[in-house]
Amino acid sequence: MRDSRLDPLFAAATALPGVGPKVAKALARLLPDAPETGPRVIDILTHAPSGAVDRRARPTISELVAGQVATVEVQVERHQPPRSTRAPYRVVVADATGAMTLVFFRANAGYIEKLLPFGETRWVSGAPELFDGSVQMVHPAHVLDAAGLAKLPAVEPTYPLVEGLTHGLVSKLAGAALERVPELPEWQDPAFLAARDFPGFREALETLHLPRRPQDVAQDGPALTRLAYDELLANQLALRLVRAQMRRGAGRATRGDGRLSRKIESALPFALTGAQGRALDAIRADLGAEQRMLRLLQGDVGSGKTVVALLAAATVVEAGRQAALMAPTEILARQHLATLEPLASAAGMRVALLTGREKGRERAELLMRLENGEIDLLVGTHALFQDDVAFRDLALAVVDEQHKFGVRQRLALAQKGVAVDVLVMTATPIPRTLVLTAFGDMDHSALDEKPPGRTPIDTRLVSLDRLDETVGAIGRAVEKGARVYWVCPLVEQSETLDVAAAEDRFGALAEVFPGRVGLVHGKMKGADKDAAVARFVSGETPILVATTVIEVGVNVPEATVMVIEHAERFGLAQLHQLRGRVGRGAGSSTCLLLWKGPLGETAKARLETLRDTEDGFVIAEKDLELRGEGELLGARQSGAAVFRLARMEIHGELARVAHDDAGLILSRDPYLSGDRGQALRLLLHLFERDAAVRLLRAG
């Protein structure tokens, strides 16, 4: 149960004065993180200003500077009502130093007359402009008499807005919301607050919404940083509590004797890299411990995660148990099977495949063998956690390409056995700070060393104006035996349109290279996709036009040329993934990023980053800088943490502090039962980590 002191904050925003149905609707659009039942007081409070207007400057008219907000004392000299309906209403005002024109479009004449009575003194506040050699102010933000001036805030916060809301209205609501913030005990360490010059929780909210200086609302200022830290700490505490809970749900020690792993290793045409060896040591230690494993294996495309997964699986099979490997797409699942099967069967491990395509008798038989323990490693897609899939003794679940699956699915697979150890693999390099915030509940191994013998990919930016030249170049490459991927643009996130674009390009290329071009996209039937990829692998159609279905995991070492059409439309991480489809064999590879101008600043930065480096971790950091963390994780879809106030690109350093802080707090007070612990429970509720608080009670 939530502490009743917090109730006013979780009351509906409609309880605030001035929030009718129309405003409530606009607020719901403004605050998409609010629950479906509508925004609450807390949602308004955590909607931080994006800036502030300083109205303290009080120049004379002659001292006004174009574009600089000022509040000027003036006499009303003359009204010039519009002569046509489209012309503006003008009012000439003056002081001892000169005159200025106030301009109002589509104004109600009666309203303007009342606002600016002839001959009276008024204070107008806004941004002046120079127009035709004279000073004017279009729609001043404020026109005030002496009483109004006394109430004018010196600094006004400005907010991210949606249609139907104004800065003034949001600011008023925030003011009303502030009055509902109760006195709460401090949950942060006082020494930490003092060292960082952080205000208290309530004071921080007041500073943000009632700023006295423009810097009060700065993203890296003490007020917002304090609140961001609150949020990061709540997140870290919650992750740790969840993890502690998982750990308490007793694990099982699974120890292999190395007999299968050794056979597999000696069947490999290469030696493991140091990074692969270290990751395996960590995984085997986890498997052998009485606690459950929850480990993230992070490694750039081509860093060799698959072999690590296979050897981990071999360890549990040596102990007489089973393993599962779940891939996000059918293509990928089949590919895993193709890679793993020869190695596994050389060691006597029994591998099988289960996707949505296995049906009827075949599927029933497979499930029976699985339940009897006649399958050691089951590779598949989502189909693995269908209800009727039962293992004899599942001990390890490997989930490939984590970000395509939600946390819920990860758990569903883990529930197919007793205390299943979970290994999550991702090829999207994630910056350190994000590893902590999004995957802080996991241990972490990184394959930060590429297998030897890879030649760098020659990446070039080519204008789409030079399409004909590009087609000529791939023609020459194909004559020399190259395999070429041609990836088509993402059109407005619409799969149908993507497919249309790919079909068009396929048609055009097929005219130039008859019988030599294949096509693969997400709307094709599984068998057709396989056939298209197979013709590409065999060299029958050495050019493969594709949508982003090939983004994840497709492994054709013979492919050496990657063309990405309209590269400016793809995200950095996605481009990196796509490029990773080449450069997988011994031959040197080329990636052509076909762009169409004009390029925006970020699009240009993205393409240049990609041209200049192949290091996934560098690319990930750059991506974070360019996009911010929410998008980077595709947070909404993946169910990973979304922060209201914390911005990794700004408060990233604090993520680590919060991580360590949470560890220390829980090591001293694992159930948050002391005084500070009780205050921290309030914090968990405030940032809606309620599930974590419930775990505390259960434990």
Tell me the two tokens of residue 117.
């009575």
What does residue 334 show for φ and ψ, rounded to 5 degrees? Answer: -65, -40
39 binds ligand ADP (CB under 6 A): no
First to last CA, the chain: 15
Q: What is the 3-state secondary structure (H, E, C) of 669-686?
A: CCCCCCHHHHHHHHHHHH
Nearer to ligand ADP, 576 or 644 (CB): 576
Token pair 């390890």: residue? 396
Strand-pair partners of 76 = 93
For the bound state, the minimum distance from the C-beta of residue 297 to Mg ion, rounded and expressed in Å, comes to 10
126 binds Mg ion (CB under 5 A): no
Query: Looking at the chain, how many residues does it have?
Result: 699
Residues in region 451-490 near ligand ADP by CB under 6 A: 451
Cα dihedral across residues 114, 118, 122, 124: positive or negative: positive
Binding site partner of 304, from Mg ion, ligand ADP, none, Cβ cut-off 5-8 A by kind: ligand ADP
Rounded to 10°, the helix 330-346/305-318 angle is 50
**Is the distance from CB of 386 to CB of 245 less than 8 angstroms?**
no
The span from the CA of 397 to the CA of 394, in Å, is: 8
270 binds ligand ADP (CB under 6 A): yes
118 binds ligand ADP (CB under 6 A): no
Stretch that binds Mg ion, among 253-261, 458-466, 547-555, 562-570 (CB under 5 A): 547-555
Binding site partner of 407, from ligand ADP, Mg ion, none, Cβ cut-off 5-8 A by kind: none
- Greatest C-alpha distance within the chain: 99
One of 126, 140, 299, 489 touching ligand ADP (CB under 6 A) = 299
- Per-residue x/- track, 549-578, ligand ADP (CB under 6 A): ------x-x---------------------
The CA-atom distances, in angstroms, between 208 and each of 174, 220, 222, 396, 513 are 10, 12, 10, 48, 63
**Is the distance from CB of 107 to CB of 88 less than 8 angstroms?**
yes
The CA-atom distances, in angstroms, between 677 and each of 74, 185, 410, 687 are 57, 11, 30, 15
One of 553, 583, 616, 652 touching Mg ion (CB under 5 A) = 553
305 binds ligand ADP (CB under 6 A): yes
221 binds ligand ADP (CB under 6 A): no
Stretch that binds ligand ADP, among 87-95, 135-143, 297-305, 436-444 (CB under 6 A): 297-305
Can you say whether residue 653 is alpha, beta or left, with left for phi > 0 and alpha for psi between -120 and 50 degrees?
alpha
Task: Estimate to the nearest angstrom the gap between the alpha carbon of 263 and the chain centroid.
Answer: 41
Task: Estimate to the nearest angstrom the gap between the alpha carbon of 225 and the chain centroid.
Answer: 20
What ranges make up the beta strands (E) of 524-598?
A: 543-546, 559-565, 589-595
302 binds Mg ion (CB under 5 A): no
Nearer to Mg ion, 489 or 553 (CB): 553
For the bound state, the minimum distance from the C-beta of residue 302 to ligand ADP, rounded and expressed in Å, comes to 4
One of 125, 225, 236, 273 touching ligand ADP (CB under 6 A) = 273
328 binds ligand ADP (CB under 6 A): no
Binding site partner of 128, from Mg ion, ligand ADP, none, Cβ cut-off 5-8 A by kind: none
Count of residues of this chain found to bind ligand ADP when the rule CB under 6 A is applied: 17
For the bound state, the minimum distance from the C-beta of residue 611 to Mg ion, rounded and expressed in Å, comes to 24
- The residue number whose beta carbon is nearest to Mg ion equals 553
For the bound state, the minimum distance from the C-beta of residue 296 to ligand ADP, rounded and expressed in Å, comes to 13
One of 137, 181, 427, 556 touching ligand ADP (CB under 6 A) = 427
What does residue 340 show for φ and ψ, rounded to 5 degrees? Answer: -80, -35
**Is the distance from CB of 61 to CB of 95 less than 8 angstroms?**
yes
One of 584, 622, 685, 689 touching ligand ADP (CB under 6 A) = 584
304 binds ligand ADP (CB under 6 A): yes
Binding residues for ligand ADP, per CB under 6 A?
A: 270, 272-273, 276, 299, 301-307, 427, 451, 555, 557, 584
In the complex, the residues that contact Mg ion under the rule CB under 5 A are 553
